[in-house]
Amino acid sequence: MMEQALKIDISSEIGRLGAVMLHTPGAEVENMTPGNVQRALYSDILNLAIAQKEYAQLYGVLSKVSRIFEVRPLLVKVLDRPDRREELVSRICRSENAVQYYGRLMEMDSESLAKALIEGLPAEINTLTAYLKDEYYALYPLYNFYFTRDAAVTHGDSVLVCRMANRVRMRESVIMDAIYRYSGCFDCHVTDANVCHSEDSRVTMEGGDILVIRDDVLLLGNGIRTSSQGIDYMMEQFIRRHPEGKFNVIVQQLPHSPESFIHLDMVFTMLDVDTCMVFEPLVLHSAQYRTICIGIADGKVKSIRQEDNILKALGKLGIDLRPVICGGDDEWDQEREQWHSGANSFCIAPGQIITYARNIHTLEALDSNGFRIIPADEIISGKKEIGGRCAITIAGSELPRGGGGARCMTMPLVREPVLW
């Protein structure tokens, strides 16, 4: 008997989590050298064994509270379908100039092919052209794929497959598109932002810049990964799907450097119906980077105006938030802990979050705001229960080197409605 497809349902950042998509970091994380770290978009090379132990804590906590779907088995399901296998492999080979490897890839069994598409395919150095190209991989490893947040966005019953800012990550979007459409596991409407855009198009967006605050309120980051053209495209698609009613889009401009400001969720995340985590210097006290509010009604943009900051913009929409300061009161600690994804928390229910244990000043700020601090191992072992306001901490010596935290590593699929 075929299992019923899961209906995607996301209307907030904080509703109780029912299902989530993950990708455990594998050999692709180590398939690099210092020479291609920059291409991988990392700040350093990860120690895979330690990273996997840390990730196991995230996985273990999430398995206690939600249903987990994993990228690799979902990809295998797609590849088990001959027509979809041909379509997916052909698309990847054409986009990555690896057409000569199409036959070799198609001959692989589905497990081996999924492994090659994620962990990389070594090049065959059997021609002068291949030798002179001096590339070890024909298909590069997907170093960043454990950050499942970025390649697609779930909102309502829909999925937007993102047009990633860096070419090295485009295959993640292609795989996500195939998974949502053809794995047979999901019931959702899919829009692929990569369709109908030329290679030099300025339309880009990534999930770390896209926060579903409420079913009628989107908060978007405009920075190095999500362009203003990408935001315009997203609004066009949103209006097309929702031609009636009133909606609001809040856009926060972001610096293009340092790299810790890569996405909006590195400086702002929701914690509860009345609480959020912020990197104070940018979110509350920046005159240089604007907060812009866009009102949409009955399929048309009715207003565009500037607001003082995100909290004031949300307050005018009936969402009053008390900020918890990433890094606490000291500016030095704020910068250090923001760099290590201190603001990048992930809600499993209102007032219940997962975050890194290393950011001790952020944890002190959470404790001062009524969040009980619980190590992940105590939840996984059953020594402690999840209840009330709490911050569940996972180890983070290696995972943050990839440039993200708990929100970056999770793709929510179903959340319960929130009573605002």
- How is 32-63 classified by DSSP, letter by letter? --GGGHHHHT-SS---HHHHHHHHHHHHHHHH
32 band by pLDDT with thresholds 50, 70 and 90: low
Alpha-carbon Rg for the chain, nearest whole angstrom, is 21
35 band by pLDDT with thresholds 50, 70 and 90: low
Q: In the prediction, which pLDDT does 34 show?
A: 60
95 band by pLDDT with thresholds 50, 70 and 90: very high
Q: Is residue 123 within 8 Å of residue 382, measured between CB atoms?
A: no
210-214 vs 372-375, strand pairing mode? unpaired
Question: pLDDT at residue 24 above 90?
Answer: yes
Question: pLDDT at residue 38 above 90?
Answer: no
Closest CA relative to residue 173, chosen from 121, 254, 261, 96: 96
Whats the size of the chain, residue-wise?
A: 420
Question: pLDDT at residue 27 above 60?
Answer: yes
List helix spans (H) across 170-273.
170-182, 228-241
Q: How far apart are CA 212 and CA 199, in angstroms?
A: 28
What would the mean pLDDT of 316-337 be, rounded to a whole number?
97
Q: In the prediction, which pLDDT does 167 show?
A: 87
Q: Is residue 175 within 8 Å of residue 75, measured between CB atoms?
A: yes
- Report residue 19 CA to chain centroid gap: 15
Mean pLDDT estimate for the chain: 94
Strands, DSSP E only, in 265-319? 268-272, 275-278, 291-297, 300-307
Beta bridge partners of 189: 158
Q: In the prediction, which pLDDT does 28 show?
A: 93
Q: In the prediction, which pLDDT does 30 show?
A: 83
Question: pLDDT at residue 162 above 70?
Answer: yes
Tokens representing 106?
Answer: 């198609």
Q: How far apart are CA 197 and CA 194, in angstroms?
A: 6
Q: Is residue 279 within 8 Å of residue 326, measured between CB atoms?
A: yes
Within a 10 A sphere around the Cβ of 240, how many other Cβ atoms?
Answer: 10
Q: CA dist 68 to 76, 270, 378, Å?
A: 16, 22, 20
Burial class (CB in 10 A: 0-12, 13-18, 19+), 53: middle
Percent of the chain with pLDDT over 90: 85
Which pTM was predicted?
Answer: 0.94
Burial class (CB in 10 A: 0-12, 13-18, 19+), 327: buried
Q: In the prediction, which pLDDT does 413 show?
A: 98
Q: In the prediction, which pLDDT does 287 show?
A: 80
Q: In the prediction, which pLDDT does 109 show?
A: 98
Q: Is the peptide bond preceding residue 258 cis, with omega within 30 degrees of 0? A: yes
Closest CA relative to residue 111, chosen from 68, 72, 69: 72
Q: How far apart are CA 338 and CA 268, in angstroms?
A: 10
For 394, list phi and psi in degrees, rounded to 5.
Answer: -110, 150
Within a 10 A sphere around the Cβ of 51, how many other Cβ atoms?
Answer: 24
- Report residue 136 CA to chain centroid gap: 28
Q: Is residue 238 within 8 Å of residue 247, measured between CB atoms?
A: yes
- Annotation: CATH topology of 7-415: L-arginine/glycine Amidinotransferase; Chain A (3.75.10)
92 band by pLDDT with thresholds 50, 70 and 90: very high
2 band by pLDDT with thresholds 50, 70 and 90: low
Within a 10 A sphere around the Cβ of 38, how many other Cβ atoms?
Answer: 11
What would the mean pLDDT of 283-312 be, rounded to a whole number?
94
Question: pLDDT at residue 39 above 70?
Answer: no
Q: In the prediction, which pLDDT does 260 show?
A: 75
Q: In the prediction, which pLDDT does 33 show?
A: 60
What would the mean pLDDT of 215-240 be, rounded to a whole number?
96
Closest CA relative to residue 353, chosen from 382, 374, 368: 374
Q: How far apart are CA 1 and CA 170, in angstroms?
A: 35
Domain ranges of the chain: 7-415
Question: pLDDT at residue 259 above 70?
Answer: yes
pLDDT in tens, 40-68: 445 567 899 999 999 999 999 999 999 99
Q: Is 419 helix (H, G, I), strand (E, B) or coil?
A: coil
Q: How far apart are CA 73 and CA 50, in angstroms?
A: 23
Q: In the prediction, which pLDDT does 340 show?
A: 94
pLDDT in tens, 177-217: 999 999 999 999 999 999 988 888 999 999 999 999 999 99
Within a 10 A sphere around the Cβ of 109, how many other Cβ atoms?
Answer: 11
Q: Is residue 340 within 8 Å of residue 359, measured between CB atoms?
A: yes
Closest CA relative to residue 118, chosen from 145, 93, 99: 145
Question: pLDDT at residue 1 above 60?
Answer: no
